Amino acid sequence: MKEEEKTKGGILLPETAEKEKPEQGKVVAVGPGKKTEEGKIVPLEVKAGDKVLFTKYGPNEIKVEGKEYLIAKEEDILAIIE
């Protein structure tokens, strides 16, 4: 394996890694937040209306009244675009 295919942290990248770019979308709704082990609700950083970049394979696709939506965990969101 070539040296440039390995990150500084030692992660080996497949050849397809450079070709797979993150997806972009708009958040239409969010839940109340994450529940901690103590039962507290921690608000999400992302909010409805945010433009985001997300991993291609993280979200699950659903169809509601003929419209397609992606359901994603906040961990699947790579960035909020301003």
User: pLDDT tens digits for 7-54?
Assistant: 666 766 666 555 667 889 999 999 999 999 999 999 999 999 999 999
CA 57/CA 35 separation, integer angstroms:
24
Of 3.40.50.12140, 1.10.3720.10, 3.40.50.2300, 2.30.33.40, which CATH number belongs to 21-81? 2.30.33.40
pTM: 0.67
